[in-house]
Each structure stands twice: as C-alpha cells, then as structure tokens.
Amino acid sequence: MKIAADDTRTYGYDDLPRLMALMTGDEKHGPAATSTLDALWVLYDRVLRVTPERREDPARDRFLLSKGHGPMAYYAVLAAKGFVPVEWLPGFGSYDSPLGHHPDRVLVPGAEIGSGSLGHGLPIAVGSALGLRAQGLHEPGVWVLIGDAELDEGSNHEAIAFAGPAGLERLHTIVIDNSSASHARPGGIAARFEAAGWSAVTVDGRDHEALYAAFTAPHPGRPHVVVARVEPKNA
C-alpha cells in the first residue's frame, strides 16, 4: 500500500467508507459513487501501474473516469493511495475546493480527464490508446470506467465499433452495470462489445477476486471490456 499524503499511516479498502463520509453536500450522487467503489479499489490497489510519483511518467498506465457523476469513491481511492491529501475531502464541492462535483484534470492530481459529460470517456480512451501506439509506447494500458447508461450515447457506439477492428489491445473498459440504462441490448452489454471484436467478461462488481481475474485476463490483439454488475440503482 502507498502512504497517504496527509500523514504516515496507510489506508485500505475498509477505510474507504470513512473517507467517503468526510465528503458532504447536496450533490453527492451516492449511488453513482458507491457502485464504482470496488472496481476502483481493485484497479488502483492491484492492477494500475501508476503512483503519485509516476503520474507524469509517459510509461504510466492511464485511468479515465468517464462516469464522473458522483466522484466520491474516486476521490476516496485517490486519497487512500496518496494522490490527494485526505484533508481535501471535507471540502468536497465547495467553492474553493479542487474536488468538484465532476473531476477536473487540472485541479485533481492523478485525474487524466475532466469528466461528467456522459459518453466522452470511451472515445477519449480510444484516442489515447491510438496516440500511445503511434508514439511507440506499447506497454502503458489505457483504462476507462463508464456507466451502463452511458451506452445510450452514440459516441460510445462509434468508439466500440472502431476499437475492435483497430486491434487496440492496450484499451480496457469497465462498465458498471447498475441497471440504469434506458435501452436494453439483445444478449446483454458484453454481447455489444463482442460483436465489434472485443474480448468481454461479465462479473460480480463486488467480488474483488473476480474483478482482479477479469481485469488481468489475457486478450491478445483485442480491446477488453469487463462488465461489473452491481445492485440496481433504484433498488
């Protein structure tokens, strides 16, 4: 584990609810935040090759939060891993806080994109993977987390359709499925990606070992999507 920026203690998964509880206000979007918590933790704790010290390293892995409505879990994980001071959390959403209701890459250390406008993250991730390949940087992975409702956006369908035939092997997408999409897809979410040439797996979005296995599954020559099913948003 990494040392957090505010003191000498370390933070684990069990500390995340307390860190999230430090953030208050009317715009918390609690279900959007808690639905992503386990996937974000497994990713930052066991998969991503990025640290606070390497956040400007060209060889780092990139993580893009497209599901930017309700970033409390993201901020809590960034604080636990030392990217932002824990002291910033109580100011969440206030006028002079860098931790806005949507993440801002200029203000939040470790954030790769500003997010909140649904449907933007996956197309940006496709462009990032293409750009890294064009530079001859074949090791960094590009990870993007989206919500199932974002798949209603046409920009995502264009990105999915392009990435498979382009063979963007270093592109990884996590879809948090909390049953909030307006339009059903024949065969489910994974089938949409598979039809475009992606590697796909669907797992329990609360099972850390299942998430880790899915995140690290080999997918030579193809982009990879993990559909993480969690409890329905309005349950």
Residue that has been written with the tokens 């909030």 in this structure: 180
Among left, alpha and beta (phi > 0; psi -120 to 50; other), residue 224 is beta
- Determine the Cα–Cα distance for residues 132 and 140; give it in Å rounded to an integer: 8
Q: Are strands 199-204 and 142-147 parallel, antiparallel or unpaired?
A: unpaired
The percent of residues in the chain predicted with pLDDT above 70, rounded, is 89
- Enclosing H/E stretch for 189: helix 189-194
- For residue 201, the SS3 value is strand
Written as six digits, the tokens of 187 are 């065969």
Q: What 8-state DSSP symbol labels residue 172?
A: E
Written as six digits, the tokens of 93 are 């959403």
- At 177-203, the pLDDT tens digits run 987 765 666 678 999 999 999 999 999
- At 80-139, the pLDDT tens digits run 999 999 999 999 989 999 999 999 999 999 999 998 788 899 999 999 999 999 999 999
Q: How confident is the model at residue 34 (pLDDT cuts 50, 70, 90)?
A: confident
Q: Are strands 199-204 and 171-177 parallel, antiparallel or unpaired?
A: unpaired
Instruction: Indicate whether 5 pLDDT > 80.
Output: no
Helical packing angle, 121-134 and 154-166, nearest 10°: 30
- Determine the Cα–Cα distance for residues 68 and 71; give it in Å rounded to an integer: 6
Amino acid identity at 67: K
Number of helices followed by number of strands (H, E) in the chain: 8, 5
Stated pTM of the model? 0.92
- Enclosing H/E stretch for 134: helix 121-134
What pLDDT sits at residue 2? 39
Amino acid identity at 115: S
Q: Where is pLDDT greater, at 164 or 2? A: 164
